[in-house]
Amino acid sequence: MAKRNLTRRQFIATTITAGAGSVLFGKTDFVIPAKPVVMFADPFQIVTLGKSGLKSTLLGMGTGFSGYNRSSNITRAGVAESIIRQAYEKGIRFFDCADSYGTHPFTAAALKGVPRESYTLSSKIWIGPGGIPDIDRPDADVVIDRFRKELNTDYLDMVQIHCMTDPKWTDKQKKQMDILETLKVKEIIRAHGVSVHSLEAMEACVDSPWVDVVHVRINPFGEVMDKSNPSTVIPVIAKLHKAGKGIIGMKLIGNGNFKNDPEKIDASLKYVLGLGTVDMIIVGFELPEQIDNYIGRVKRVLL
């Protein structure tokens, strides 16, 4: 295939109007769905995450943009509680936390007095090196008890194993997976799963009956993804979707790398929501005005 360089505007126009096949942007071939799948009507549409039974608004909030060592951009800026509360008041009903983000107490404060059944609450356990103090690495049942206290809730809708890259993670994390399954049976958590940061770890999810929901990194530019060519990742996401796994799209804005590029943002939203295999998306808001901005953008690309 002969390669041609497209301007950003030409690429976006191509993603919107192209038929089946692939287009080129820089050095990467992107497969564009021949016809967007009509799945969504608005950012507040209630969707079901695969066969997990979990329900959420199409647009959710990630609380861990640039999250590490129990902090994130919104905790460091001192706006975590207010941003989370405003997101809820605007209509968002999914809040994605993690032990390494440090957002549990802020989420609890932001949602104090709100009916617990009115939102979906997700968090993640960290088992890799670094990220959290070494003393805080007991088994998942002990960790989840702490999570519930920090979040002021009797149960979590979902708990995931965070940031898996090893293709054999389903074998190596068997102990924690079994503990999380027991907590699910006891209704302390409602679903479990994994966030993946390698294509091989994602592929391991396909045949694992344990995996209820997967966080996948996806955008049409290959930015901060498991592979730089999205056409390599899309078939694996399709297999996960076919297997009944709930799919949460993350890194749509390339980990914030094109947050100041409106055309790329719109192209990414249209691309991901047109795949027909991603159940919902999460965005890490940092400023109050971004909430309305993204709500409006999702509405426009769904027209």
User: What CATH number does the domain containing 113 carry?
Assistant: 3.20.20.100
Whether 31 has a pLDDT exceeding 80, the answer reads no
Calpha distance 199→232 (Å, rounded): 9
Query: What's the mean pLDDT in 9-34?
Result: 41
Identify the pLDDT of residue 129: 75
| C-beta separation of 153 from 119 below 8 A | no
In a domain, 24, yes or no: no
Question: Measuring CA to CA, how many Å separate 150 from each of 13, 123, 155, 162?
Answer: 46, 11, 12, 18
Structure tokens, 238? 């399709």
In a domain, 100, yes or no: yes
Closest CA to 97 of 142, 139, 146: 146
In a domain, 3, yes or no: no
In a domain, 4, yes or no: no
Question: How many independent structural domains does the chain possess?
Answer: 1
Question: Measuring CA to CA, how many Å separate 27 from each of 23, 31, 253?
Answer: 10, 13, 19
Q: How confident is the model at residue 21 (pLDDT cuts 50, 70, 90)?
A: very low
**C-alpha torsion 239→242→248→252, nearest 10:** 50
In a domain, 30, yes or no: no
**C-alpha torsion 195→142→116→119, nearest 10:** 0
Name, in order, each residue with C-beta under 8 angstroms of 168's C-beta and a sequence gap of 6 or more. 204
Percent helix, strand, coil in the chain, to 5, is 40, 20, 40
Whether 20 has a pLDDT exceeding 50, the answer reads no
Closest CA to 189 of 209, 166, 212: 212
In a domain, 130, yes or no: yes
Domain range enclosing 297? 39-302
Identify the pLDDT of residue 68: 77
Which stretch of 10-14, 33-37, 245-249 has the lowest confidence by average pLDDT?
Answer: 10-14
Task: Count CB-CB contacts under 10 A for residue 165.
Answer: 14
Calpha distance 197→207 (Å, rounded): 17
In a domain, 74, yes or no: yes
Q: How confident is the model at residue 38 (pLDDT cuts 50, 70, 90)?
A: low
Calpha distance 175→139 (Å, rounded): 8
Calpha distance 22→153 (Å, rounded): 46
104 Cα distance to chain centroid: 17
Whether 23 has a pLDDT exceeding 60, the answer reads no
> Bridge partners of 189?
156
In a domain, 12, yes or no: no
